[in-house]
Amino acid sequence: MSFNYILTDIHDRVGVISLNRPDKRNALNPELVGELKTAFNQFFKDDAVKVIKLRGEGDAFCAGADLAVIKKLKDATYEENLEDSRHLAGLFEIIRNGSKPVVAAVHGHAIAGGCGLASICDIVIASEPAKFGYTETRIGFVPAIVARFLIKKVGETHARHLLLRGNLISAEEAARIGLVTETTSVTNFQETVEKVLRDLVEKCSGQALQTTKALINAAGDQTFQEAVDHAVEVNAKSRGSEDCQKGISAFLNKEKIEW
């Protein structure tokens, strides 16, 4: 795959997507969003990829919308803004609904749309100096697209505080409220990210990972009873899967499972 604004690589069953606009703090523009959609879609379909890692080049993870994009908002028509909004929402939906786990490695600030991009990932590992925040209201903008995903992730109380106030919070605070999975020192950041990726790749069934992610996503849109009924069906069906049969056999025979 060849892109202008991102880098991609596959290494040991990990598909790596790197935001590659370090001079712009990896700010989002329509072209970058489009490239991310293409890369994620291709990795989700690629049998050589089991887990996807999202990262940023340079000092920041992602600073949100590009300044040039923000300037265009003043003169854009409603239809043009609607198309652009759908474009970004489509990226978030692809990541959330994709069949494989996505791990965000956030080494630097994740702001506005960049914070939304990180928070939509399944697992977020953050370096302690990183900052997170939805700063849209401070320039008169509305963090509408990220709101739906954020409320599901951290709950209404924390979402209201972040979205309305528009302030930046530390990686430690982001982890406390559930926006971030784990924080680590700068020194241990790469090692921590790699350990998470290796656990997913080497210790977990790919089939089970895909089914579990789909189960979690579905539960958020179901009533409690619907979620329980669906879980029962998934549980019963998964017991007959090839990976489950393999795992049970290895466990009973005290053999190492090769995933």
* Domain range list for the chain: 6-201, 204-252
pLDDT at 134 over 90: yes
List the single range of 36-50, 161-175, 204-218, 227-241 with lowest mean pLDDT.
Answer: 227-241
What are the backbone dihedrals phi and psi of residue 101, each rounded to the nearest 5 degrees, phi first?
-65, 140
Q: Is 136 a catalytic residue?
A: yes
pLDDT score of 211: 95
Q: pLDDT tens for residues 169-219?
A: 999 999 999 999 999 999 999 999 999 999 999 999 999 999 999 999 988
- Cα–Cα distances (Å) from 103 to 14, 50, 123, 197, 201, in that order, read 10, 11, 5, 8, 12
7: Cβ–Cβ under 8 A, 6 or more apart, which residues? 16, 17, 18, 20, 57
Mean pLDDT of 71-96: 91
Indicate the pTM of the whole model.
0.92
Tell me what percent of the residues of the chain surpass a pLDDT of 70: 100
pLDDT score of 7: 98
pLDDT score of 3: 95
Mean pLDDT of 73-83: 88
Question: How far apart (Å, rounded) are the C-alpha atoms in residues 235 and 238?
Answer: 5
pLDDT score of 13: 97
Tokens of 48: 């050589």
Mean pLDDT of 108-124: 96
115: Cβ–Cβ under 8 A, 6 or more apart, which residues? 62, 64, 132, 133, 134, 146
pLDDT score of 180: 98
pLDDT score of 1: 64
Q: What angle do CA 62, 104, 177 make, to 5 degrees?
A: 90
**How are strands ordered across the β-sheet holding 169-170?**
110-111, 131-133, 169-170
pLDDT score of 219: 82
Backbone angle region of 46, left / alpha / beta, with phi > 0 → left and psi within -120 to 50 → alpha: beta
- The arrangement of secondary structure in 6-201, i.e. its CATH architecture, is Alpha-Beta Complex (3.90)
- Supply the mean pLDDT for the chain: 92
pLDDT at 62 over 80: yes
Which of 57, 79, 136, 242 is the catalytic position?
136
pLDDT at 229 over 80: no
Question: How far apart (Å, rounded) are the C-alpha atoms in residues 224 and 233?
Answer: 14
